[in-house]
Amino acid sequence: MPALTKKILGKNGSLSWGTLNFTHPSLTELELPYFDVTAAQPGPHIAIIAGMHPNEVDAMEAALRLKDYFADALLRGSVSILPVLNIPGLFAHSEFVCPIDDKNINFLSPGDLDGSFSQVLIHQVLHEWARDAAVFIDLHGGDLREEVAKFVMCQLTGDPEFDAHTQALAHRFDADSIVEFAAGQTNNRGRATNELPWLGRHAVMAEGGANGVLDPECIEFHFQGVVNIAWFLGLTADIAPTAKQRRNLVVHNFFKVEAPISARLYLSVAAGEQVAAGQLLGVLKDIFGDRQTELVAPYAGYILMIVNHPIVNQGEWLISLAPLDDNAR
């Protein structure tokens, strides 16, 4: 798949980079930037992607820093990185979707070779580029109108041994919250992190960032989480991670709070807050500034994401709210 390759030797790992091409007819014009780091000693392979949503710059910046880190620190195994998956949308500042087919790649896993551009792309990434990865790590966080808590997602399957390993990988991140999706959940599907476990493959997805702006704390969150996973899998000899500083609150699903009308939104809460059932989340006003209705928490929960732009459309996904009680929904 590499179309162009350059290579240097790091302190321990061999770093190569360039562009990837795919042979599928839908992707013949696509060139994806990539990095590969290979150690002298055999070991597990980690696959890392960022830039599925190309305004989520903290994740992409962390991916760039990770290739330099692994070039020096990798002692065993290999690491592959795609720092900008949605390259067609990068300079268009495309929100959420790939402009080729106007689809959100985030919800198209495990992909479809007979589908549209984005469906084919995620299929090739998951089943060709990352097919032998011990863990697939998907880094996200904070599109142009979003504020996202520092949280991690993983999917449980009901297989105790498999799930314990997935949980151990996800808990390498020092997160505000860890969403361990229950095996029976059906409302959150289509992400790589939700679909790969059903194929017997481990996956973790990290979120953290806001408004397409570089935030050193969020970059470090993504970077250090991946570094910790590599240490956990034995790819590096770095010292054990330091004690966690964040809450690392475990929840088992989240649901959408949607805009009941098109309006001006005045939020009363922020990402990362815990709310009580019935608590005011925000007020919606019309274009004249007159109060029309309220957003109220339908259950006690933890806010993972908010849309923080004041102009919203009816039916728009405004808040991701994780129930604190598994029976809340």
181-193 pLDDT, tens per residue? 999 999 999 999 9
Instruction: Give 222-244 pLDDT, tens digit per residue.
Output: 999 999 999 999 999 877 777 89
84 and 30 in a single domain? The answer is: yes
Cα–Cα distance measured from residue 136 to residue 146, given in angstroms and rounded to the nearest whole number: 24
As a whole-number percent, the residues of the chain with pLDDT over 70 amount to 95
The partner residues of 137 in beta bridges, in order of sequence, read 48, 204
Domain coverage including residue 261: 254-323
Whole-prediction pTM: 0.95
Picking from 197, 220, 249, the residue at the C-terminal end of a domain is 249
Co-location of 210 and 268 in the same domain: no
- Which residue(s) pair with 151 in the sheet? 177, 207
Q: What is the dihedral of CA 53, 17, 206, 73, to 10 degrees?
A: -160
Which tokens hold the place of 52? 């599925």
Q: Across the chain, what does the average pLDDT equal?
A: 94
On whether both 238 and 95 belong to a single domain, the answer is yes
pLDDT at 5 over 70: no
Cα–Cα distance between 128 and 35 in angstroms, integer?
16
Percent of the chain with pLDDT over 90: 91
Is 91 in the same domain as 164? Answer: yes
**Whether residues 24 and 89 fall in one domain:** yes
d(CA 221, CA 83): 16
Let me know: does 184 contact 254? Beta carbons within 8 Å.
Answer: no
